[in-house]
């Protein structure tokens, strides 16, 4: 690992959910899916301050309700149990009881207080969990701290994902090495507000649940809330962070001189996972980043950026390598943000398309060549203020329709 300097954030090569001290994971095949791993757990060696943000979909699934109840008790978690294949959403009282039973079974298996266990599920909506398989699967869980254990967990939480999402970063706070790690799943139904996927973060930093919650909410506004794949919001999903304090730093608060260093550390991890989710959108071939400058304020900049990346017309043009900047200007004009119709600049990659709302002469061949790249950058300057913001998404391909037309079959 590179030499760490105070306040400097360093990416960990092959960093993952187990990069911080004191965490273990496992993933097993419980039989909810035909052959792939489908049940996983994260364990902290000691109780950890915890916080989460949740989907704004009005049909919040049973696991979210149970997790909210767990965190509300003491703000502490020591385990998170996760299943794929079945969302346990829109399943009424039976679904809620099943989520409670998952919590109880995990509590008993690992000798942890019930309210120290969170529950998460992902998969098909409106189907009941096979609790016999869940019960047997939980008994098979044997957490470890090897890289293979992290991979087992990451595999167990996937649905239509093509690749695993993980990250790890580290810094120095109070002279102590502070590390954060993450794992996530998300491929479709990604239009977070918050959160429409599953994201799990672990850190060995010392911080109270209250301050951790404030930090997470602040960071998600700039990261997970700024990704979109298809404009749909799921019933289940959340981002959850556990901080076990094993690094030995002084407890982090907004008054701590290195509070902003921790915010940067958390932001790096969340942004990395968010980009990985956007890149792995169902049927996606390109990661797209939109940066908006010169907005009235940061909130409007983020809103305009997300409006552009969420436009199906923009996304399909990028898939087809068509430098149709008119679709971008159309998306901007749909917003309620402060816009001066005579001062907008648009560039796709290095190619200026529009300057002061006047079309620029550019090479269609050069633009087409750039749009065949796996990473596309759209830069917009509104020239009405000092606000800036980014959003991430992907192109919209034929395969998106194929995948979602047969999701249950």
Task: Write out the catalytic residue numbers.
Answer: 196
- Residue 195, preceding bond cis, omega within 30 degrees? yes
Q: What end-to-end distance do the CA atoms of the chain give, in Å?
A: 45
Q: Which strand (E) or helix (H) includes residue 261?
A: helix 259-279
Q: What is the Cα–Cα distance from 125 to 232, expressed in whole angstroms?
A: 14
Other Cβ atoms closer than 10 A to 5: 10
Inter-residue contact 267 to 219 (CB < 8 Å): yes
Structure tokens at 328: 């971008």
User: Which burial class, exposed, middle or buried, applies to 364 when counting CB atoms under 10 A from its CB (0-12, 13-18, 19+)?
Assistant: exposed
Strands 287-295 and 176-185 turn out to be unpaired
Strands 165-173 and 198-203 turn out to be unpaired
Q: What is the Cα–Cα distance from 283 to 279, expressed in whole angstroms?
A: 10
Strands (E), 253-397: 287-295, 345-348, 351-355, 358-359, 375-381, 387-394
Q: What is the Cα–Cα distance from 228 to 274, expressed in whole angstroms?
A: 9
The tokens 């790096």 sit on which residue? 268
CA angle 353, 355, 357 (to 5 degrees): 100
């Amino acid at each position: 690992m590179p030499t760490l300097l105070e306040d400097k954030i360093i990416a960990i090569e092959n960093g993952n959910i187990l990069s911080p001290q004191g965490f273990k994971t496992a993933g097993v095949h419980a039989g909810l899916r035909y052959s792939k791993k489908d049940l996983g757990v994260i364990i902290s060696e000691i109780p950890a301050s915890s916080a989460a943000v949740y989907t704004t979909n009005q049909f919040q699934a049973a696991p979210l309700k149970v997790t909210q109840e767990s965190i509300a008790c003491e703000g502490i978690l020591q385990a998170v149990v996760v299943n794929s294949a079945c969302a346990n959403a829109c399943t009424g009282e039976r679904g809620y009881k099943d989520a409670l039973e998952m919590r109880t079974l995990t509590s008993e298996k690992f000798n942890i207080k019930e309210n120290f266990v969170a529950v998460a599920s992902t998969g098909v909506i409106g189907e009941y969990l096979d609790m016999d398989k869940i019960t047997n699967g939980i008994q098979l869980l044997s957490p470890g701290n090897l890289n293979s254990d992290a991979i087992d967990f990451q595999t167990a939480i996937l649905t239509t994902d093509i690749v695993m999402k993980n990250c790890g970063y580290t810094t120095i706070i109070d002279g102590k090495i502070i590390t954060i790690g993450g794992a996530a799943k998300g491929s479709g139904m990604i239009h977070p507000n918050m959160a429409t996927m599953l994201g799990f973060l672990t850190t060995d930093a010392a911080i109270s649940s209250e301050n951790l919650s404030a930090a997470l909410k602040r960071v998600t506004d700039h990261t997970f809330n700024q990704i979109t794949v298809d404009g749909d919001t799921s019933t289940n999903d959340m981002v959850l962070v556990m901080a076990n304090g094993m690094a030995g730093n002084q407890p982090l608060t907004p008054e701590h001189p290195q509070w902003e260093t921790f915010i940067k550390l958390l932001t790096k991890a969340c942004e990395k996972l968010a980009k990985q989710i956007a890149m792995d959108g169902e049927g996606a071939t390109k990661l797209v980043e939109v940066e908006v400058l010169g907005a009235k304020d940061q909130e409007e900049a983020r809103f305009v950026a997300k409006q552009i990346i969420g436009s199906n017309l923009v996304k399909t043009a990028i898939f087809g390598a068509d430098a149709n900047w008119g679709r971008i200007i159309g998306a901007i004009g749909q917003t309620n943000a402060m816009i001066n119709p005579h001062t907008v600049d648009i560039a796709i990659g290095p190619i200026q398309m529009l300057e002061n709302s006047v079309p620029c002469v550019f090479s269609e061949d050069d633009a087409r060549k750039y749009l065949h790249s796996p990473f596309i950058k759209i830069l917009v300057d509104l020239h009405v203020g000092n606000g800036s913001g980014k959003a991430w998404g992907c192109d919209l391909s034929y395969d998106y329709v194929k995948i979602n037309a047969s999701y249950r079959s």
